[in-house]
Amino acid sequence: MSIPPYVVAGLVAWFVTYWTTPTARWLARRVGAVDYPGGRRINRRPLPRLGGLAIVSGVLVASALSLPMPGAVAVAREPKHLVLAVPYGAVPREFWGILLGGLAIALVGLYDDLRQVSGRVKFPLVYLAATVPVLFGLTTPFVTNPVTGQLVSLGVWGQVFTVAWVGSAAIAMNSIDGMDGLAAGIAAIAAGTFFVAGVLRGAGLPTLVVCAAVAGSAVGFLRYNFNPARVIMGDGGALFLGYLLGALSVAGLFKTLTFLSLAVPLLALGVPIFDTAFAILRRVRRRVSVFQPDRGHVHHRLLDRGLSQRQAVLLLYGTTALLSSLSLALSGWVERWIPLSVAGLLGVALWVVARRLGLLARTP
């Protein structure tokens, strides 16, 4: 029997996160990292907000164990022993950069969970952390000319795009983390989508390993985070998960930038991207700082429409799963006009939804 390294990564991440979350919850109470009801927060009782420690621990431990495995773990049964043959190899340099950048962005988020840092300080630090994997070689080197189909080298602009995308993915996931289980569930669905897309596109084993680790850790955390939550992940967890999903999409899908390669991450992360984009537009229209939080996010709007937390979260899970399925369908070999038409219709539909939910309203 053989066990692929991504299975090992998923199980280890789930196990570590599941068993360390109660410790993170206890620690948060000891140091005073607690979200109290009131203002734009929707929790009705105090909630510890250092759950991100467990998520980060799960992903990093699982990745450290599984990334050096270039192949499956062989399990052989002998008369009195169970023998494991674990292969060992070098970890690609860019994945060391992804993990180090993830640790850096987690520290930024955890510090914010403890000290409540202003967005004007926090978000530049997020983009600074997003440069770490680029320094280790993670980049988008080529773009396909949509007219001729030829590859065009992006040079330094590929690095700029990578930093902007990875940092923005982290911020988008942090923005959507406002309801029990929402960010963790979306991260699990998106990581699963990236895993399937990676298998279909022949992505390297390291990409699949980290995708499995992210999904396993998010699922393990949901045991304590789904409504009614006993702990929340805080900025440390949300920024870390968004960052990893952004970096994984570059590592597995963005080596050549095309419409189809963009479809998977843009649609799988469609809910947080959509919500963040309209939050920025809403604040610009109000002529306030884009860093100023408000109660106009999509989950707030759904609650205002009379949905319970569970109903709203399950609706957004379903939306993410639908968009993820669409992204996988669009990433196949289809006529060019089909994905373009679908993208146009989807854009119109999202705009209509935004207007119906009042996402562009000038909320206080």
pLDDT surpassing 90 at residue 97: yes
Higher-scoring residue by pLDDT: 267, 220: 220
Higher-scoring residue by pLDDT: 166, 200: 166
324: Cβ contacts below 8 Å, ≥ 6 apart: 189, 190, 192, 193, 267, 268
Residues 219 and 207: their CA atoms lie apart, in Å, by: 19
**What percentage of the chain has pLDDT greater than the value 70?**
82
pLDDT surpassing 70 at residue 343: no
Helices (H), the chain: 5-31, 52-66, 93-115, 119-135, 156-176, 182-201, 205-225, 234-253, 259-268, 270-286, 298-304, 309-330, 337-357
Q: For residue 115, what pLDDT band results from cuts at 50, 70 and 90?
A: confident
pLDDT digits (tens, 9 = 90+) for 140-170: 876 665 555 566 777 888 899 899 999 999 9
**What average pLDDT does the segment 73-85 reach?**
75
Higher-scoring residue by pLDDT: 246, 350: 246
Find tokens 């206890």 and name the residue.
26
∠ CA 259-271-204, nearest 5°, is: 50
Q: What's residue 284's pLDDT?
A: 78
* DSSP letters for 288-302: S-TTS--S-SHHHHH
Give the range among 88-97, 158-167, 205-214, 319-328 with minimum mean pLDDT.
319-328
Q: What's residue 270's pLDDT?
A: 85
Higher-scoring residue by pLDDT: 34, 259: 34
**What average pLDDT does the segment 79-91 reach?**
79
∠ CA 50-54-56, nearest 5°, is: 100
Amino acid at 261: S
58: Cβ contacts below 8 Å, ≥ 6 apart: 12, 13, 14, 15, 16, 17, 20, 213, 216, 217, 220, 221
Q: What's residue 157's pLDDT?
A: 85
The answer to whether 206 and 91 are in contact (CB under 8 A) is: yes
Q: What's residue 334's pLDDT?
A: 45
* Residue 209 burial class via C-beta count within 10 angstroms: exposed 0-12, middle 13-18, buried 19 and up: buried
pLDDT surpassing 50 at residue 183: yes
The answer, as to whether pTM is greater than 0.85, is yes
Higher-scoring residue by pLDDT: 36, 66: 66
pLDDT surpassing 90 at residue 255: no
Q: What's residue 315's pLDDT?
A: 83
Rg (CA), the chain: 20
Residues 29 and 49: their CA atoms lie apart, in Å, by: 9
Collapsed DSSP state (helix, strand, coil) of residue 145: coil
Q: What is the mean pLDDT of the chain?
A: 83
Higher-scoring residue by pLDDT: 245, 74: 245
pLDDT surpassing 90 at residue 204: no
Q: For residue 13, what pLDDT band results from cuts at 50, 70 and 90?
A: very high
302: Cβ contacts below 8 Å, ≥ 6 apart: 311, 312, 315, 316, 357
Q: What's residue 329's pLDDT?
A: 76
Q: What's residue 333's pLDDT?
A: 43
Q: What's residue 173's pLDDT?
A: 93
329: Cβ contacts below 8 Å, ≥ 6 apart: none
Q: What's residue 40's pLDDT?
A: 60
**Domain locations in the chain as residue ranges:** 2-258
Tell which residue, 356, 352, 354, 360, has the closest CA to residue 286: 360
Tell which residue, 130, 268, 100, 98, has the closest CA to residue 191: 268
Q: What's residue 78's pLDDT?
A: 72
Q: What's residue 360's pLDDT?
A: 55
Higher-scoring residue by pLDDT: 244, 91: 244
pLDDT surpassing 70 at residue 260: no
Tell which residue, 347, 302, 292, 298, has the closest CA to residue 323: 347
pLDDT surpassing 80 at residue 354: no
Higher-scoring residue by pLDDT: 300, 215: 215
Give the range among 10-19, 58-67, 242-251, 297-306 with minimum mean pLDDT.
297-306
pLDDT surpassing 70 at residue 193: yes
Q: For residue 216, what pLDDT band results from cuts at 50, 70 and 90?
A: very high
Q: For residue 18, what pLDDT band results from cuts at 50, 70 and 90?
A: very high
**What average pLDDT does the segment 266-281 reach?**
85
